[in-house]
Structure 1
Amino acid sequence: MAEVVAADRAEGHGPPATADVTQALTPVVLSFKDELMRDSPLAPTYARAYK
């Protein structure tokens, strides 16, 4: 993602919108939550991720 932003800036584009950043981060956070759920005995009780 950083490389894409840097390339866009080099071409004169502005910063990404909040919605663009949220769209990029949401799958990462959800995959982290899924990984936690698999690997931690505490996860079913304490893991939360909201979209």
Structure 2
Amino acid sequence: MNNDQISVRMVVLLLVGTFTAVVALHHPAVGAAIGVGAIVVTLLNELMGR
């Protein structure tokens, strides 16, 4: 794996985490923004690692 793939992976994780946190902030029923963002990023990180 080269550095370009690592960079793209990190950008995707950050974008999805940010999007999820923004959605959670605008819709409080979804849950706490930091918790939801962290869970989504963690799951994506695990899935992309396989």
Normalised by the length of structure 2, the TM-score is: 0.46
Normalised by the length of structure 1, the TM-score is: 0.46
Rg larger for: 1
Between 1 and 2, higher relative CO (CA 8 Å, sep ≥ 6) is seen in 2
